[in-house]
Structure 1
Amino acid sequence: MRLIIVSGRSGSGKSTALDALEDSGYYCIDNMPAGLLPDVAERVLIESELVQPNVAVSIDARNLPSHLQRFPELLAELRSRNIRCDVVYLDADEESLHKRFSETRRRHPLTTDSRSLSEAIRDEALLLAPIIDLADLTIDTTALNLYQLRDILKLRLLDQPEPGTAFLLESFGFKRGMPIDADVVFDVRCLPNPYWKADLRDYSGLDQPIIDYLSGLPDVEEMYQDILAYLSKWLPRFAASNRSYVTVAIGCTGGHHRSVYLANRLGQALKPSLKNVQTRHRDLD
């Protein structure tokens, strides 16, 4: 059995995530009391006609605080039964969450006559802290539309070619902020920037003119070899510590040239040894 537990602050995209999982064949339960997790898993195992049933549940701050505090022991109980559990936490910055509620005119579940929307958004993170601490995969939805969120869920959760740790090589641009889900970050802004060459500016790091230009620079090759040596040594150690997901973020200024080139090249070099290697270019998507 595979169980995906989706959590996150209200407005972060939990409903979109459940819809995407349902479209992929998961039986989905929204706003489930955390205390019922073991009972639901047992019932699914007993009654399901599938050899490997897939279930996804959403757990949010509408739960009883006592149930949320018990989440670590509930998760441990599930895993002790050899149930594969993935805890996915969605979040966005407070400004974006505030804007989403204002635009949709929805009422935040924690707002009261004495608690403002801003206070409810902040308090929600405190209530969900036991889940945040145990999240296998954190996704920042601040800059994502629903289609991009669906694509990321498919890439990270559903498109793993083999069991084991799923590694993501992600390029990004510092001018749009660092990915909050990054486990390891490399800053490659010190390398020559193709943006300042008029004949290269409109290409990306996936295009041959950029590849030819960057691959011919000694500093770029040295940076590539250093990062590859580090990742080749240490990513297997991450896997040995039973991490389900590891994100390696590589950033340049705009996220179009240097970081894209290096993330793509590193991903190709690491695939033969690590198997579950995926590549994503945040600011090209």
Structure 2
Amino acid sequence: MTSSDDRKNEKTQHAASRLVVISGMSGAGKTIALRALEDLDYYCVDNLPAALMPAFVAAATAGAAGPHPRLAVGIDVRNSSEDLQRVPTILAELAQQGIEHELIFLDARDEVLFKRYSDTRRRHPLTGDGLSLNEAIALERKRLKPVSVIANRVIDTSELNVHQLRRLMATELGMVGGELSLLFESFAYKRGVPADADFVFDARCLPNPHWDARVRPLSGRDPAVREWLEAKPEVMQYLGEVSTFLDTWLPRFEAENRSYVTICIGCTGGRHRSVYLAEKLAEHFRATREQVLTFHRELE
């Protein structure tokens, strides 16, 4: 086979994959957006040096099992200025190889970013250079200009909460097809029921791992908590009946052309029972659906 044929086959293989690049201002929601894509079965890499994007795509599309159909990378100001300047060229080169790509830039007003950093007490990645937060935000905007100007879409997250941003990634941006999208969210009743819930299930009637010192520090994602709960027959009964209920009624929502349903599971602290149930329900529906996300309010 000639080298020309090799290049043709390489291009055909690459074309099976889609690359979504998530960039934007620190504090605007890049991590949340990538987690939403990860829930939708994207192969995600955060804080990837831009220069390594071609190598990442090549590695992800050259596996023995075939190309991964969905790729996503996070590119932020921690890249060198030189790499950020090269992003347009790198994406153009990937397009020439047959890579379908989309660049999403997340932004927010300066005062909103400042408040988010003040509320979380996290350090901006550029404040280590001796800059104030306001100076760091201004410098970040300047460094990211080569990326923001070529974005397929710029999203202002100033007025969006975590749930709304996840919903946006799953539906309005067309990251997936047209079937019903599901979000399973765990929460603590002491902090209130999520305002955008379509279904709410109360797990406070179930045995509580909080009272077992061996598993109290863990969450419902940890194997020890899963084993603890799965040893309780009433937990398995509850999970089975909720699954059956949703299996029965979610198709009715699809018949009414609904695009998104949020199922919230609450318990006292939002760490054990509700997290476990949300993960198990998501696992159940991922066996037959592509658009299934999870969010654990008290763990984020």
Instruction: Please report the TM-score for the alignment, with normalisation by the length of structure 2.
Output: 0.52
Match of 1:157 in 2: 174
Residue type of the alignment partner of 1:158:
M
Alignment of 1:1-285 (within 5 A): 1-47=17-63, 49-51=65-67, 53-112=69-128, 114-155=130-171, 156-160=173-177
Q: 1:48 and 1:68, CA in 2 relative to 1: closer, same or farther beyond 3 A? A: farther
The answer to whether the 8 A contact 2:21-2:104 is kept is yes
Quote the Cα distance in structure 2 between the aligned partners of 1:36 and 1:20.
23
- The residue type paired with residue 156 of structure 2 is D
Deviation at 1:124, TM superposition (A): 0.4
1:138 partner amino acid: V
Q: What is the TM-score when the length of structure 1 is the normalising length?
A: 0.55
Please give the alpha-carbon distance, in whole angstroms, between the structure 2 residues aligned to 1:104 and 1:134: 30
Give the Cα–Cα distance (whole angstroms) in 2 for the partners of residues 136 and 46 of structure 1: 27
Q: 1: CA distance between counterparts of 2:170 and 2:131?
A: 37
Deviation of 1:15 after TM superposition, in Å, equals 0.4
Deviation at 1:35, TM superposition (A): 0.4
Gaps of 5+ in 1: 162-285
Contact 1:2 1:55 in 2 (8 A): yes
Q: 1:27 to 1:10 in 2, by over 3 A?
A: same
SS in 1 for 2:41: coil
| Structure 1 residue 112, shift from structure 2 partner | 3.3
Q: Which amino acid aligns with 1:143?
A: E
Q: CA deviation at 1:113?
A: 5.9
Q: By how many angstroms is 1:89 displaced?
A: 0.2
User: How far apart are residue 145 of structure 1 and its match?
Assistant: 0.4
Q: Could you give the per-residue CA deviations for residues 24-66 of structure 1, whole angstroms, max 9, x where no partner exists?
A: 0001101000000111111111116245521111000000111
Classify the secondary structure of the residue corresponding to 1:112.
helix
Question: How many residues are paired up?
Answer: 161
Partners of 2:174 and 2:118 in 1: CA distance = 31
Q: Superposition RMSD on alpha carbons, in Å?
A: 1.4
Deviation at 1:153, TM superposition (A): 1.0
Note if contact 1:30-1:59 (Cα within 8 Å) is conserved in structure 2: yes
